[in-house]
Structure 1
Amino acid sequence: MSRTTDPALVGLAQGWCALSALHGRIEAHVERALQEHHDLSVREFSVLDVLSRQHDGEGGHLRMNEVADAVVLSQSATTRLVNRLEERGLLTRYLCLTDRRGIYTDVTPAGRTLLEEARPTNTRALREALDEAATRPELAPLVAAVESLTSA
Structure 2
Amino acid sequence: MTATASTPTAPALAAGWCTLSLLHGRIEARVEGALAVHDLSVREYSLLDVLSRQHNGEGGHLQMKQVTEAVVLSQSATTRLVTRLEDRGLLSRYLCPTDRRGIYTDVTDAGLALLEEARPTYLAALGEALEEAGRDPKLRPLVDVVRALGTSA
Q: Provide the C-alpha distance between the structure 1 equivalents of 2:8 and 2:65, rounded to a whole number of angstroms.
A: 39
Residue 95 of structure 2: aligned partner: 95
Is 1:33 the counterpart of 2:34? The answer is yes
Residue 104 of structure 1: aligned partner: 104
| Superimposed CA distance per residue, residues 106-131 of structure 1 (whole angstroms, 9 cap, x where no aligned partner) | 11111000000011111000000000
Aligned length: 148
CA RMSD of aligned residues (A): 1.7
| Superimposed CA distance per residue, residues 13-54 of structure 1 (whole angstroms, 9 cap, x where no aligned partner) | 21111101000000011000001x200000000111111111
SS of the residue aligned with 1:11? helix
Residue 118 of structure 1: aligned partner: 118
Q: Provide the C-alpha distance between the structure 1 equivalents of 2:95 and 2:69, rounded to a whole number of angstroms.
A: 21
1:56 Cα offset (Å): 2.1
**How high is the sequence identity, in percent, across the aligned residues?**
69
Is 1:55 the counterpart of 2:55? The answer is yes
For 1:90, give the aligned amino acid: L
Q: Provide the C-alpha distance between the structure 2 equivalents of 1:47 and 1:150, rounded to a whole number of angstroms.
A: 19
| Superimposed CA distance per residue, residues 83-104 of structure 1 (whole angstroms, 9 cap, x where no aligned partner) | 0000001011122111122221
Residue 134 of structure 2: aligned partner: 134
Structure 1 residue runs of 4 or more that deviate by more than 3 Å after TM superposition: none
For 1:73, give the aligned amino acid: L
TM-score by length of 2: 0.91
TM-score by length of 1: 0.92
Q: Provide the C-alpha distance between the structure 2 equivalents of 1:136 and 1:75, rounded to a whole number of angstroms.
A: 36
SS of the residue aligned with 1:119? helix
SS of the residue aligned with 1:97? coil
1:58 Cα offset (Å): 2.8
Residue 70 of structure 2: aligned partner: 70
| Superimposed CA distance per residue, residues 52-105 of structure 1 (whole angstroms, 9 cap, x where no aligned partner) | 111223321111111011000001100011000000010111221111222211
Residue 9 of structure 2: aligned partner: 8
Residue 46 of structure 2: aligned partner: 46
SS of the residue aligned with 2:106? strand
Structure 1 residue runs without a partner (length 5+): none
SS of the residue aligned with 1:94? strand
